[in-house]
């Protein structure tokens, strides 16, 4: 497929073009820049997308979610983290059928695309035939799909990872499979080491179809070090979970840790020394009362930090535009410095830093040779007029529902208020049936 995006602001990582143009052939960007120059390369057979009065940006990247948990949006709000997990979420998850996981992922994929997100990293339970990977593929969203691992399900979970790698990694150029140890307090030290070795093996065997990473939760709960120490009878040096993991030898550049809220200097040193990547989830962190991660310190140390929404059961949306704004504002509050996370940095966190966090080299920017993952925003709304600084506008003014068009892997998935080639009502109907059944099976909870 050939696409010519014509006119409008073009936002790249290096430059803003007031009148930009982008050429796409198959799934790649072949030219991007000033409209007058790009027009010279337009031949026959290009589908034109008029972007006058609009803004063209790289597709947004959500570096941490549990996308199938769209099924639990609003189900158990306003509870502490451990109670939320153990008394509400885990019991209803035990009732999930494989088809529920797939349909939840499909709904989350629709929501992500509608909100301008083209890549997500998710972590959840797995079934060979119906799972988050199959759900994402049915909609056409790019995703890193982490297969969750818990100590008490070790053998089953490891079999699931190997199955997922063989069946889904690299599928349609959209899916990568990740190793997903849940957290230090649910994964024992020996299993951490085994999973780190499994990731290396998987990367050697399947890496030609995309890097295999570890995605997990670390330092989300202020009591996490204590819980980990007591549950597994281990010492957490100076309460530093990252130092604990470093001592196990499992930290490296392919380790993506979500949350990272409660950090000491030892934690930050371990993160930096091992080139660990961080997914910042400010809205979920606030909603669960977990705290505010000092990401300004991490970024000042040169650590890669992407943005995540966490699951729709603890946010309650997959809105990265909202996350960008909140990220910038929260850091200004805790530092008292309005320059701590400027708009340009927040934008990078939602795009190119997110790509690096997921070990992708060809997304997060609009430039020749990159995958054609692009979001176009309609600027013809009262809250978007006037424009002085397009990047500032992007972070502080634009809302997710201002998204006009989304292109993933060179295919138009959403355009001018309509999903392309997707039976949205069928997805909604299946979601409602799944939720109705789940609620009937856990009606004794509460």
Q: What is the assigned CATH class of domain 60-357? A: alpha beta
Name the architecture of domain 2-58+372-419.
Answer: Roll (2.30)
Taking the CA atoms of 159, 162, 167 and 170 in sequence, report the sign of the dihedral they define.
Answer: positive
Q: In the structure, what pLDDT confidence band is assigned to residue 43 with cuts at 50, 70 and 90?
A: confident
CA distance to 94, 195, 252, 390, 393, per residue, from 275 (Å):
36, 18, 6, 31, 32
Paired with 259 in beta bridges are 218
Position 1 confidence tier, pLDDT thresholds 50, 70, 90: confident
pTM of the model: 0.97
* Centroid of chain to Cα 112: 10
Q: Cα dist. 298→257, 263, 309, 340 in Å?
A: 13, 10, 19, 11
Token pair of 396 as six digits: 């502080």
Q: Where are the domains of the chain?
A: 2-58+372-419, 60-357
Give strand ranges (E) for 71-213.
117-124, 142-149, 175-181
Q: What integer pLDDT is reported at residue 208 of this predicted model?
A: 95
Q: How confident is the model at residue 230 (pLDDT cuts 50, 70, 90)?
A: very high
DSSP letter at 88 equals I
Is a pLDDT exceeding 90 seen at residue 442? no
- Average pLDDT for residues 344-369, to the nearest whole number? 98
What is the model's pLDDT at position 396?
Answer: 98
- pLDDT at position 85 is 87
Answer whether 2-58+372-419 and 60-357 agree in fold. no
Number of Cβ atoms within 10 Å of the Cβ of 420: 14
Question: pLDDT tens for residues 248-303?
Answer: 999 999 999 999 999 999 999 999 999 999 999 999 999 999 999 999 999 999 99
Is the distance from CB of 394 to CB of 347 less than 8 angstroms? yes
Both tokens assigned to 195: 């999973």
Cβ proximity of 317 and 111 under 8 Å: yes
Average pLDDT over residues 34-63: 96
Is residue 446 over pLDDT 70? Answer: no
Query: Residue 180 pLDDT more than 80?
Result: yes
Q: Quick one: what percent of the chain has pLDDT higher than 70? A: 99
Q: Output the pLDDT for position 444.
A: 55
pLDDT at 81 over 90: no
- Tell me: pLDDT of 244 over 90: yes
**Looking at the predicted structure, is the pLDDT value of residue 219 above 70?**
yes
Task: Name the 3-class secondary structure at 86.
Answer: helix
The mean predicted confidence, pLDDT, of the chain is: 97
Token pair of 100, please? 């529920």
């Amino acid at each position: 497929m050939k696409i010519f995006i014509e006119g409008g602001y073009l936002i790249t990582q290096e430059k803003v073009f007031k009148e930009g143009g982008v050429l796409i052939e198959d799934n790649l960007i072949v030219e991007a820049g000033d409209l007058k120059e790009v027009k010279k390369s337009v031949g026959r057979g290009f589908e034109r997308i008029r972007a006058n009065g609009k803004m063209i940006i790289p597709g947004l990247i959500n570096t941490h979610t549990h996308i199938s948990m769209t099924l639990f949006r609003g189900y158990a709000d306003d509870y502490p983290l451990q109670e939320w997990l153990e008394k509400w979420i885990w019991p209803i998850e035990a009732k999930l059928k494989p088809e529920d996981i797939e349909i939840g992922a499909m709904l989350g994929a629709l929501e992500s695309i509608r909100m301008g997100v083209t890549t997500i990293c998710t972590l959840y339970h797995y079934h060979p035939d119906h799972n988050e990977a199959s759900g994402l593929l049915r909609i056409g969203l790019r995703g890193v799909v982490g297969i969750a691992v818990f100590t008490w399900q070790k053998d089953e979970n490891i079999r699931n990872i190997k199955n997922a790698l063989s069946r889904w990694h690299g599928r349609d150029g959209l899916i990568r499979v990740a190793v997903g140890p849940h957290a230090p307090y649910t994964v024992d030290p020996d299993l951490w080491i085994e999973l780190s070795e499994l990731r290396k093996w998987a990367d050697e065997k399947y890496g030609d179809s995309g890097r295999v990473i570890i995605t997990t939760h670390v330092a989300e709960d202020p009591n996490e070090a204590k819980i980990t120490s007591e549950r597994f009878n281990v010492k957490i040096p100076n309460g530093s979970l990252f130092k604990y993991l470093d001592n196990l030898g499992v930290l490296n550049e392919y380790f993506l840790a979500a949350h990272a809220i409660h950090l000491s200097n030892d934690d930050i040193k371990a993160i930096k020394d091992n080139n660990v990547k961080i997914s910042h989830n400010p809205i979920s962190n606030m909603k669960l009362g977990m705290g505010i991660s000092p990401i300004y310190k991490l970024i000042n140390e040169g650590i890669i930090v992407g943005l995540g929404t966490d699951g729709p059961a603890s946010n309650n949306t997959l809105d990265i535009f909202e996350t960008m704004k909140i990220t910038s504002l929260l850091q200004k509050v805790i530092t008292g410095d309005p320059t701590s996370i400027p708009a340009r940095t927040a934008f990078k966190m939602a795009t190119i830093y997110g790509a690096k966090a997921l070990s992708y080299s060809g997304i997060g920017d609009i430039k020749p040779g990159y995958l054609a993952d692009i979001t176009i925003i309609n600027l013809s709304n009262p809250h978007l007029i006037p424009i002085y600084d397009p990047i500032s506008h992007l972070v502080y003014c634009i809302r997710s529902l201002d998204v006009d068009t989304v292109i993933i892997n060179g295919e138009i998935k959403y355009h001018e208020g309509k999903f392309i080639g997707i039976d949205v009502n069928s997805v909604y109907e299946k979601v409602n049936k799944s939720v109705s059944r789940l609620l009937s099976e856990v009606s004794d909870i509460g």
